[in-house]
Structure 1
Amino acid sequence: MSRIDDTAEFLPVRIAVLTVSDTRTQADDKSGDTLAQRIDDAGHQIAARMILPDDRDAIAAQLRVWCNDPNIDVVISTGGTGLTGRDVSVEAHRDVYEKEIDAFGTVFTIVSMQKIGTSAVQSRATGGVANGTYLFALPGSPGACKDAWDEILVKQLDYRHRPCNFVEIFPRLAEHQRRK
């Protein structure tokens, strides 16, 4: 079972938050606020925050910019993971991924099933890695952001989490890009 190793040092992670919405502004971005507060409460750093409309190319371009920023370790987007025509966050993320973290969507679905039952099938939450940066696309509701953070990300982004976590393999994420 998972646990926190109190003998290990906490290592703060630098996280960018992207809200994808045609209608949200900084004043009413509840999902972005939920993530930012939880990130801060966990001891991590908000490295950047932005709102973009549901535009696949614009989302992918911003993800690439953040993946190339050495001051950003993780990008979490919220919104645009549903089934409607304007929901393109998943496609934008997959345009950028070098590797998809398939189990992230599966675990998110399991967590969601406990909260919203079979309505969880309407979410397409996803995770992946690009240029040594973790990327996660979450649904646009504050509840979904809470669930993803509280049940998955807060643990996997904590270096002290055992038996393993995302932080401990940061140095190896881009090893394929190094000279041999």
Structure 2
Amino acid sequence: MIPHPDPENITLNCAVITVSDTRTKETDKSGQLIQQLLTDAGHKIAIYAIVKDEPEDLDDWLNKLDTNSELKVIIFSGGTGIAPRDTTYDVVTDWLDKPIPGFGEIFRYLSYQEIGSRAIASRAVAGVKNQKLVFSLPGSANAVKLAVSQLILPELNHLVRQIQGKK
């Protein structure tokens, strides 16, 4: 299904934050994929970082991202499962001003079609914080490709326009 067309594509400044205790910039396939998909769609990567899955570290980064007025989109990858070390969901959801529950619902539905019932363990989430769109995705490259290609990119310009009060 194709959404209504946007009046024009806009270039958005984006932050890509991988949450991992083990990945490096060289081994971060998911972070690299997010960056590639965003730049291929005409957006700019203003910030890229790898952050340990520690609530204090995530809080520090959220504060830095919150005060950056140039950013319009923040995408986290990793830490959305239910393992004891997965804290991204908890920290990000507490930080959001306004959740977008449809994102996680549709993401899990699409994931279910690909991986079956294991999709129930995903805590992918999206929302708005201080005029910024925020997405928190699982760390697997397949999940990132699904979320960015099928959900985020088709709606990104529309969602940013809504946040800004434009049609």
Fold shared, TM-score > 0.5 on shorter chain: yes
Alignment partner of 1:143: what SS?
helix
The amino acid of 2:127's aligned partner reads G
What is residue 17 of structure 1 aligned with on the other side?
16
- Misfit runs of 4+, over 4 Å: none
Alignment partner of 1:128: what SS?
strand
User: Is 1:171 aligned to residue 164 of structure 2?
Assistant: yes
**Superposition TM-score, scaled by structure 1 size:** 0.87
Give % identity. 37
**Number of corresponding residues:** 166
- On the 8 A contact 1:99/1:129 being kept in 2, the answer is yes
Q: Where does structure 1 lack aligned partners over 5 or more consecutive residues? A: 160-164, 174-180
The amino acid of 1:124's aligned partner reads R
The amino acid of 1:171's aligned partner reads Q
The amino acid of 1:167's aligned partner reads V
What is residue 90 of structure 2 aligned with on the other side?
91
What is residue 177 of structure 1 aligned with on the other side?
none
Larger Rg: 1
- On the 8 A contact 1:111/1:151 being kept in 2, the answer is no
Deviation at 1:45, TM superposition (A): 0.7
**1:103-137, CA deviations, whole angstroms, 9 ceiling, x for partnerless residues?**
11101111111111111111100011111111111
Q: What does 1:48-127 align with in structure 2 at a 5 Å threshold?
A: 48-127=47-126
Deviation at 1:4, TM superposition (A): 5.5
Tell me, in whole angstroms, the C-alpha distance in 1 between the residues paired with 2:3 and 2:106: 17
Give the RMSD, CA atoms, in angstroms.
1.6
